[in-house]
Amino acid sequence: MSQNNFRMYMNGKWVEGRGNRRTLIDPSTGSALAEVAEASSEQVHEAVLAAKIAFETTEWPVNAKLRVALLYKLADLLEASAEEFAQVESRNTGKPIRESRLDIMDSVTCIRYYANLVESRDVWQKEMEDGTTSRIHEEPIGVCALIVPWNFPLLLGIWKLAPALAAGNTIVFKPSEITPLSFIKLAALIEEAGMPDGVFNLVLGDGAAVGQPLVSHESVNKVSFTGGAETGRRIYQECAKTLKRVSLELGGKSPLIIFEDADVEIAVDWALFGAFFNQGQVCVASSRILVHNELEQEFLKRLSDRLAHIRIGKPLEEATEMGPVISLDHLKKIEQYIQLGISEGATLFTGGTRIQGEDGYYITPAVFTDVNQEMRIVQEEIFGPVITVQSFHDEEEAIALANGTKYGLAAGILSQDIERANRVANRVQAGTIWINGYHTPHVETAWGGFKQSGIGRELGPYGLAAFTEPKHINMNSQLQKVGWYSAT
């Protein structure tokens, strides 16, 4: 990374933060990785003001060709430096390098998708029955505050940034305070691409010092947040004060339903991928495994065998399949949930112990059995490599268990009976449901949740619509009298 490694980008300039200084920690070693200077509340205001002026005075909101060209250029620049970004992402988050590479290429795909979507979309227009013509313009909202978590710093940021920019908005972006490095690096590419000053602004800091003044700022028109449910509720309440537009993706407690006709070895393969990808630190992680009672014992045996061979190691080693969790505090939180599960009466079937001899934040994947629906380890998002296994007897019980939490982000169904799988999918309350698969987001489709998993959708045309205001223009080609009231 360049000399701008750990600085903020505001109004087309690299600036030093005037707020707190934060030491970033390498999760694989527990040692210092970098130090960043975070924004003061005054700098948050400056960033919002820069975005507001850019929206009101530059051609960015009205020149779609400019936006499309810059997005394509940004995608090309990111693709050309993909390995550098992957290395930065793995060092900052602890995720295995092969996962970081996937994140970077998915980010490139997302940017190009929204450039193409804006380039190819048409204005809706119709001749009405009264002889007038109606058309719908989808216009940018204004200044958008984008706030993302630490588990997929670049990818989740791009899911917001690409459609927001494509629609013509101006941005104040706040990454997680503990994983800002890939977006600092992206800001350098945005500068190289030639983005007009003030269109993209990067501020660093935590929720209290930076997020709160950003969300509450009177000149912010839209807030898009991905993160914890409690923080999401506070943001929702704050946005309601000024009727800001808001999108929230707040996590889940997603089930993977395994029916009796599923191949057990394949089911275990998908369960491992669904539950432990990115160390289980994924909003859609299949942390609740619901398996038909006829398969339960064989499933558990094969699951235990496979878990014993997962390669846990340093993120940058090519053979690593699972890295450390994000921080010491998060490791302690996971361990507290494991102890809670034991105290609630669940059986810790395997795993759940720190790996000795490692300086980083490593823990073996934990599997709980003998659980019931009321247990907190079943109901609450742990956000780590911890799963519960419950058995069911029939389709109705599987659906009831799947729907039996406050969340509704995702679900998976494994069965050779596709008719049954589709029938169950239609009744499971979740925003994304995979049949005989798991985890893959498709940029052309919708992403978001039911119930307390959030409000709104990202990706696909829905993601672009989330950053636009539809304007209806109705035109009568001739100026005529209304004739509604009697003439005097």
Distance CA 413, CA 175 (A): 33
Active site residue 249: yes
Active-site residue, from 38, 46, 99, 249: 249
* Distance of alpha carbon 224 from alpha carbon 447, whole angstroms: 13
Collect all residues with Cβ–Cβ distance below 8 Å to 318 and sequence separation of at least 6: 97, 98
What H or E segment, with its residue span, contains residue 458? none
Given the DSSP bridges, would you call strands 255-258 and 200-202 parallel, antiparallel or unpaired?
Answer: unpaired
From the CB of residue 193, how many other CB atoms can be counted at a distance below 10 Å? 18
The position carrying tokens 């809706």 is 124
Structure tokens given for 396: 């109705």
3-class state of residue 57 by DSSP: helix
Scored b (16 or more CB within 10 A) or e, 41-60 reads bebbebbbbbbbbbbeebeb
Q: Where are the beta strands (DSSP E) in 259-343?
A: 288-292
* Three-state secondary structure call for residue 295: coil
460 contacts 441 by C-beta, under 8 angstroms: no
Q: Say whether 283 is catalytic.
A: yes
Alpha helices in 22-63 (DSSP H): 41-57
**CA gap 248, 242 in Å, rounded:** 17
DSSP class of residue 374?
Answer: T
Q: Which of 283, 296, 381, 458 is catalytic?
A: 283
State the catalytic residues. Answer: 249, 283
